[in-house]
């Protein structure tokens, strides 16, 4: 389930590998990507435009009271690591790959902090091993999630959460981590309570678990998406995203964000 990521001001959902030499073969398949570093540079350029048009203090006030949401890692795993593009699995074990992603985010958050970005929400990875694509590909029985993939996801989230805790040393900053794995597994484990009748099959697709082919025609879709957890091979339904968004905002259904919820970040002043 890719991320539900509510933002107040800015949304960055990307891959740190995009645009790099390592992702060249990935780009051939998926088109050109703009790396996280490039996007941060673009934001820095925009900030300079704010300074010129609004004045320095107004630009600082505007940016420091905005919320930046960073969601990375899903494409790095789905379209790069799990496909073993450029033989990446021989270059990085999962732990070192996760360390690479986290260190990239850490440096870019510090770069943002240097231009007065004080409020940042970093999204963790959802349980990728539970999406219809991998239930189909790994030919799992009884809809059991692919443990091998989910172990990598949980490790990634652990590394990212620890990195966020370390960044708490930045004065006046409010940087939080939202654990999409935790929130998504709560939905899967308590699907009946949330009103979901179909927990493994996608609403739209073909093949086992409707995960073999992507949804490319309305005729392929089920009649009622709201009782499905998965919309297609990878994406959750709007109903799931609404639940996750409530959790990110104020932990309505289960706590996902640390050390505070997004509502608290928005309300904070400097």
SS (H, E, C) 93-124: CHHHHHHHHHHHHHHHHHHHHCCCCCEEEEEC
Q: Judge whether 64 and 116 are in contact, CB under 8 Å.
A: yes
pLDDT tens sequence across 61-79: 999 999 999 998 888 899 8
Flag whether pLDDT at 114 surpasses 50. yes
> What integer is the mean pLDDT of 145-151?
97
119 in any annotated domain: yes
> What integer is the mean pLDDT of 85-100?
90
Lowest mean pLDDT among 27-36, 120-129, 138-147, 234-243: 27-36
Tally the domains of the chain.
Answer: 1
Average pLDDT over the chain, rounded to whole? 88
Q: What are the tokens at 86?
A: 């450029």
> What integer is the mean pLDDT of 183-191?
97
Domain ranges, residue 111: 10-180+251-267
32 in any annotated domain: yes
Flag whether pLDDT at 19 surpasses 60. no
pLDDT tens sequence across 21-59: 333 334 444 456 788 999 999 999 999 999 999 999 999
127 in any annotated domain: yes
**pTM of the full predicted structure?**
0.87
Q: Cβ atoms within 10 A of the Cβ of 55, count? A: 11
φ and ψ of 160, to 5 deg: -65, -40
221 in any annotated domain: no
Give the strand order in the sheet containing 257-258.
Answer: 10-14, 67-72, 119-123, 174-178, 257-258
- Produce one character per residue of 141-176: b if its CB has 16 or more CB atoms within 10 Å, e if not: eeeebbeebbebbbbbbbbbbebbeebeeeeebbbb
Flag whether pLDDT at 197 surpasses 80. yes
15 in any annotated domain: yes
Q: Judge whether 133 and 7 are in contact, CB under 8 Å.
A: no
Element (H, E) at 206: none
186 in any annotated domain: no
pLDDT tens sequence across 200-225: 999 999 999 999 998 999 899 999 99
194 in any annotated domain: no
Q: Judge whether 202 and 147 are in contact, CB under 8 Å.
A: no
Residue 65 or residue 85, greater confidence: 65
235 in any annotated domain: no
φ and ψ of 229, to 5 deg: -80, -40
From the list 98, 232, 83, 195, the residue with the least C-alpha distance to 152 is 98
- Produce one character per residue of 83-116: b if its CB has 16 or more CB atoms within 10 Å, e if not: eebbebeeeeebeebbbbbbebbbebbeebbebb
From the list 93, 68, 78, 80, the residue with the least C-alpha distance to 126 is 78
Give the Cα separation of 69 and 251 in Å (integer): 17
Q: Cβ atoms within 10 A of the Cβ of 190, count? A: 12
Give the Cα separation of 82 and 104 in Å (integer): 20
């Amino acid at each position: 389930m890719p991320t539900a990521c509510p933002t107040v001001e800015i949304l960055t959902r990307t891959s740190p590998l995009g645009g790099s030499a390592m992702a060249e073969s990935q780009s051939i398949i998926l088109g050109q990507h703009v790396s996280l570093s490039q996007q941060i540079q673009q934001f820095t350029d925009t900030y300079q435009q704010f300074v010129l048009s609004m004045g320095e203090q107004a630009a600082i006030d505007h940016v420091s009271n905005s919320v930046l949401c960073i969601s990375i890692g899903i494409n790095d795993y789905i379209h790069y690591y799990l496909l073993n593009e450029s033989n990446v699995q021989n270059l990085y074990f999962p732990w070192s790959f996760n360390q690479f992603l986290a260190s990239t985010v850490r440096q870019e958050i510090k770069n943002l902090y240097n231009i007065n970005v004080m409020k940042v929400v970093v999204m963790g990875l959802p349980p990728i091993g539970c999406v219809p694509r991998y239930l189909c590909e790994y030919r799992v029985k009884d809809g059991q999630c692919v443990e091998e993939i989910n172990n990598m996801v949980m490790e990634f989230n652990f590394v990212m959460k620890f990195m966020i805790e370390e960044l708490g040393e930045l004065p006046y900053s409010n940087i939080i981590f939202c654990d999409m794995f935790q929130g998504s597994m709560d939905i899967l484990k308590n699907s009946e309570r949330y009103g979901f009748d179909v927990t493994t099959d996608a609403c739209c697709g073909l093949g086992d678990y409707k995960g073999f082919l992507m949804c490319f025609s309305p005729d392929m879709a089920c009649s009622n998406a709201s009782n499905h957890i998965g919309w297609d091979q990878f994406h959750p339904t709007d109903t799931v995203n609404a639940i996750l968004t409530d959790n990110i905002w104020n932990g309505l259904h289960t706590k996902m964000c640390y050390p505070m919820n997004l509502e608290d970040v928005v309300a904070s002043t400097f």
